[in-house]
């Protein structure tokens, strides 16, 4: 069970980073980005193509792939900031569902529908605890999730840039009337979250199911983790991601329950949504 839980930590770190990205997007640019992991998947597929077909070194292909993931995300952000600046969060989020489907289809057309032959960026064990091996991928993804969450929190609370982003997220029109450039800031948030998503997917993808649909649907467990923090709190998003990954890993060790791991994110989402609505029901009943 412990072995399974620790094995699940790598996926947990991945969920945590994606959950932090989803939380930042929701807080700062008013969108639930369903294409968060799909842009990462697409960037990673380009990286694999560049290293396998074009012959670029793995590191160079990965860097280009990460930049493409960031650029794709920035482009989507630019489109939404230009034409849907005043739209509500539901409309803006619905557009990202279309982009999710578009990127999955495009990857099928360009790269086929088989898993890609990823070259691992990180490989091998980092250390072992009581005979349980912890991989380098696990250590890096968990650390990455914590560093990104702490870094983003510091950026938002301690810098002028973060202050402007928070103002923009609360009252975009008022912020613009004060001279805060809404569109460039929003596009920057999209670009950074796109870069981070592609980076973390490129680290974890070689060691898990890496067909286009599986990687794109990582947004589901990430959304479950972000929901734990109400799409507001970065710390709870990280905790949610790590716990969900460990729970999936632990459940996978029990033969009779192993299939449950695929449903776990959905169960968490349903459970959290019901839990979050309990006060609404009580208030209405009063």
Residues that bind another protein (CB under 8 A): 160, 163-164, 166-167, 170-171, 173-182
Query: How near is the Cβ of 179 to another protein at its closest, in Å?
Result: 4
Query: How near is the Cβ of 156 to another protein at its closest, in Å?
Result: 11
User: Alpha carbon of 172 to those of 165, 177, 178, 243: distances in Å?
Assistant: 9, 9, 10, 34
Q: Which is nearer to another protein, 80 or 268 (CB)?
A: 80
Considering only the C-alpha atoms of the chain, give the largest distance between any 2 of them, rounded to a whole number of Å.
Answer: 67
Q: Which is nearer to another protein, 114 or 171 (CB)?
A: 171
Query: How near is the Cβ of 177 to another protein at its closest, in Å?
Result: 5
CA dist., res. 37 & res. 81, Å (int): 20
Q: Do 40 and 246 touch, CB atoms closer than 8 A?
A: no
Query: Taking Cα atoms as reference points, which of 196, 9, 60, 205 lies closest to residue 120?
Result: 205
3-state secondary structure (DSSP) of residue 126? strand
Q: Which is nearer to another protein, 60 or 167 (CB)?
A: 167
Q: Which is nearer to another protein, 54 or 178 (CB)?
A: 178
Query: How near is the Cβ of 174 to another protein at its closest, in Å?
Result: 5
């Amino acid at each position: 069970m412990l072995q399974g839980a620790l094995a699940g930590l790598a996926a947990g770190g991945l969920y945590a980073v994606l959950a932090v990205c989803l939380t930042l997007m929701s807080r700062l640019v008013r969108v639930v980005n369903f294409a968060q992991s799909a842009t990462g998947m697409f960037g990673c597929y380009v990286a694999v193509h560049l290293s396998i077909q074009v012959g670029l070194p793995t590191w160079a292909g990965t860097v280009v792939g990460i930049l493409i993931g960031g650029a794709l995300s920035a482009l989507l952000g630019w489109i939404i900031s230009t034409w849907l600046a005043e739209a509500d969060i539901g409309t803006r989020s619905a557009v990202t569902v279309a982009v999710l489907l578009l990127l999955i289809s495009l990857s099928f057309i360009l790269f086929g529908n088989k898993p890609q032959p990823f070259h691992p960026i990180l490989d091998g064990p980092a250390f072992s605890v009581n005979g349980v091996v912890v991989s380098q991928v696990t250590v890096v993804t968990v650390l990455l999730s914590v560093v990104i969450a702490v870094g983003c929190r510091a950026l938002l609370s301690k810098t002028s840039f973060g202050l402007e982003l928070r103002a923009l997220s609360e009252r975009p029109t008022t912020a613009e009337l004060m001279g805060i450039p809404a569109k460039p800031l929003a596009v920057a948030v999209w670009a950074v979250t796109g870069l981070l998503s592609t980076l973390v997917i490129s680290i974890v993808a070689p060691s898990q199911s890496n067909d286009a649909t599986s990687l794109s649907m990582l947004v589901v467990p990430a959304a479950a983790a972000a929901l734990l923090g109400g799409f507001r709190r970065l710390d709870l998003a990280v905790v949610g991601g790590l716990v969900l990954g460990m729970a999936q890993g632990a459940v996978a060790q029990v033969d009779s329950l192993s299939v449950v791991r695929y449903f776990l994110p959905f169960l968490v989402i349903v459970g959290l949504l019901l839990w979050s609505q309990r006060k609404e029901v009580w208030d209405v009943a009063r």
